[in-house]
A = this chain, B = another copy of it.
Amino acid sequence: MTATAEPSHTAPDTQIYERRESIVRSYSRAIPRQFNRARGVWMHDSNGGKYLDFLSGCSTLNYGHNHPVLKQALLDYIAGDGITHGLDLHTDAKADFLTALEDVVLRPRGLDYRAMFTGPTGTNAVEAAIKLARKVTGREMVIAFTNGFHGMTLGALACTGNAGKRSGAGVPLSHVAHEPYDGYYGPDVDTAALLEQRLADPSSGLDAPAAILVETVQGEGGLNAASPEWLRRVAKIAKAHGALLIVDDIQAGCGRTGGFFSFEGMGFTPDIVTLAKSLSGMGLPFALTLFRPELDIWSPGEHNGTFRGNNHAFVTATAALRHFWSGREFAADITRRGRLLERRLDRIAAEHGLATRGRGMMRGINVGSGEIASAITGACFEQGLIIETSGPHDEIVKVLAPLVIDDAVLGAGLDILERSVRAALTPALGVAA
């Protein structure tokens, strides 16, 4: 296996999808290949093509595909008839995970959280978080932010900003107010001050909130990264107004921005944190809602779900925590590589007068329109690089490479991106805006 992409150029037979899969499918439209195996940063299609993965399951594969340590742990567990499904019964796998979570994640960071195993999807973790905040405070309204993305089930969808997603609800989305995120009105408008003013004003029409729900970096919303100052102030505002602070760390957590949590070292502690995506380490469905023990006022089974204890995910998550997070090297390496990524993206952007966005290994370039972004990602794909867009108009080309990527391979992928941006934005070469 060489370290270069070798894309195939033949679209797969898609009849079975056309006959039997809903047209709601999306990624397979821009990436018309059928994949059969993957390892590390590489994905292989059924026609022998090989692709470098800068999408990483939207940050679900931070440790790459089928990491050997995780894979072996899972193979051993399955071979030994380990419990696969046990509702929320105690299992060895769950105890091991909780112990690893405590040892490797919570205790070293001085965090005292309890873990709630919700249904194994991010949206379920968010639903549980806002339910709990409403239950604890006796209030209904949740403050979410412009461009926030929190999931597709009705409670989480109400917190999501995207109109295309919202319109699928079929009912009005209620009990949530969307306030401007950091920088939303440009660098001169202090949106934390706006929020504070509205909450302090008994006549603003903004009801007292149960929670403020925030992503530190808005992955789907366009890689907007809030400043630590802004986040600290939002944390203070929440506290001052009797609201719980929920950090949705589903995309930005699990190392994507450097630390295990995206809010580490920022001088505030969320009341509730949601995790999913890379939590299992191997891409298995898994989600967690963490909260301060004093908030743990659930009745037994008050929020439940058939798959709320995905034991396979416990196994791989435990392996991932212990393998990657026992020391500080991994975080340091992500931070270092994130700077490298930043420099390259800044250079690519500067060449075309564009701006970059994001933090850590979660960065992108605002290329101005979804059309241009699509031309760029299409050109990348032709060269064997899988990369996607985000943002309100899909105008941000987004690099979400596995965190474990080798610097050279990262560089090779960015070379492809650089060429593709140039092709798209140089009038003589490519598409016009």
Instruction: Decide: A86 and B202 in contact? CB cutoff 8 A.
Output: no
Instruction: Decide: B302 and A204 in contact? CB cutoff 8 A.
Output: no
**In the assembled complex, which residues on chain B have CB atoms less than 8 Å from the CB atom of A393?**
202
**In the assembled complex, which residues on chain B have CB atoms less than 8 Å from the CB atom of A61?**
85
Instruction: Decide: B127 and A154 in contact? CB cutoff 8 A.
Output: yes
Known A-B contacts A87-B58, A205-B178, A305-B151; the reply to A81 vs B16 at CB < 8 A is no
- Chain A 230-256 interface residues, beta-carbon cutoff 8 Å to B: 250
Instruction: Decide: B161 and A121 in contact? CB cutoff 8 A.
Output: no
Instruction: Decide: B66 and A81 in contact? CB cutoff 8 A.
Output: yes
The one of B39, B106, B306 in contact with A122, judged by C-beta atoms closer than 8 angstroms, is B306
Q: Mark interface residues in A108-127 (1 if CB within 8 Å of B CB, else 0).
A: 00000111110111111001
A400 to chain B, nearest CB (A): 12
Known A-B contacts A16-B95, A81-B37, A172-B140; the reply to A203 vs B392 at CB < 8 A is yes
**Bound-complex Cα distance A55 to B312 (A):** 20
A38 adjacent to chain B (CB < 8 Å): yes
**Bound-complex Cα distance A135 to B167 (A):** 9
Q: Mark interface residues in A192-206 (1 if CB within 8 Å of B CB, else 0).
A: 001001100111111
Give the number of times this chain occurs in the complex, counting copies. 4
**Bound-complex Cα distance A198 to B179 (A):** 10
**Bound-complex Cα distance A203 to B166 (A):** 9
Instruction: Decide: A135 and B168 in contact? CB cutoff 8 A.
Output: yes
Q: Which of A275-283, A320-328, A349-357 contacts B (4 or more CB under 8 A)?
A: A275-283
A258 to chain B, nearest CB (A): 21
**In the assembled complex, which residues on chain B have CB atoms less than 8 Å from the CB atom of A177?**
177
Instruction: Decide: A102 and B38 in contact? CB cutoff 8 A.
Output: no
A405 adjacent to chain B (CB < 8 Å): no
Instruction: Decide: A185 and B170 in contact? CB cutoff 8 A.
Output: no
Instruction: Decide: B27 and A88 in contact? CB cutoff 8 A.
Output: yes
**Bound-complex Cα distance A170 to B303 (A):** 12
A34 adjacent to chain B (CB < 8 Å): yes
A260 to chain B, nearest CB (A): 16
A31 adjacent to chain B (CB < 8 Å): yes
**In the assembled complex, which residues on chain B have CB atoms less than 8 Å from the CB atom of A205?**
144-148, 160-161, 166, 176, 178
Q: Mark interface residues in A299-331 (1 if CB within 8 Å of B CB, else 0).
A: 111111111001010000000000000000000
Q: Which of A17, A34, A310 is most buried by chain B, counting CB atoms within 10 A of its CB? A: A34
A82 adjacent to chain B (CB < 8 Å): yes
Instruction: Decide: A146 and B84 in contact? CB cutoff 8 A.
Output: no
A141 adjacent to chain B (CB < 8 Å): yes
The one of B86, B106, B161, B202 in contact with A164, judged by C-beta atoms closer than 8 angstroms, is B202
Q: Which 4 A-B pairs have the closest CB atoms?
A: A85-B283, A134-B170, A178-B205, A154-B155
Residue pairs across A and B with Cβ atoms less than 8 A apart, 20 shown, are A20-B98, A24-B116, A24-B299, A24-B304, A25-B300, A26-B300, A36-B91, A60-B87, A65-B81, A75-B78, A85-B284, A140-B171, A141-B172, A153-B154, A153-B155, A155-B169, A165-B303, A171-B174, A276-B306, A285-B310
